Amino acid sequence: MKLLQTNIHEIETAGELEKIINENENVMVCCGRMGPMCIPVYEVMEELEEERENVKFYTMAFDNPEAAPIRNAPQTRGFMGIPFTMYYKNGKVIEATSSIQSMKQVTNILDEHFSS
């Protein structure tokens, strides 16, 4: 069941998450709620989705039990602010951030790890 009202595709199961990160080279997944710290990140992703064809953008609801692989990832240990935003390259986590992020912070990560 979809819990987020954004224009980004929402991953609904852990299996779908695994499939996506294994089948795509560059993946960004923002795991959050419809709250003030998360919505600005979704907006950034919506903007970037149009111009970064080499990156796949997804959301996942933080309260979805299927999001456990993100909530419990070693890279998110100590995170105490949503959204948890994960960057995967060839199936592996190469960066993770906690709480609100600006366009500049997101593009810096994309440029560093996902530049084509």
Binding another protein (rule: CB under 8 A), the pick from 26, 59, 64, 97 is: 97
Task: Report the DSSP pairing between strands 56-61 and 26-32.
Answer: parallel
Q: Could you say which residues in the range 42-71 bind another protein, by CB under 8 A?
A: 43-44, 47
Contact region with another protein (CB under 8 A), list: 11-19, 41-49, 52-60, 108-116 = 41-49
Give the bridge partners for 85, in sequence order. 30, 97
Contact region with another protein (CB under 8 A), list: 8-16, 18-26, 28-36, 87-95 = 28-36
Nearer to another protein, 63 or 112 (CB): 63
Determine the length of the chain.
Answer: 116
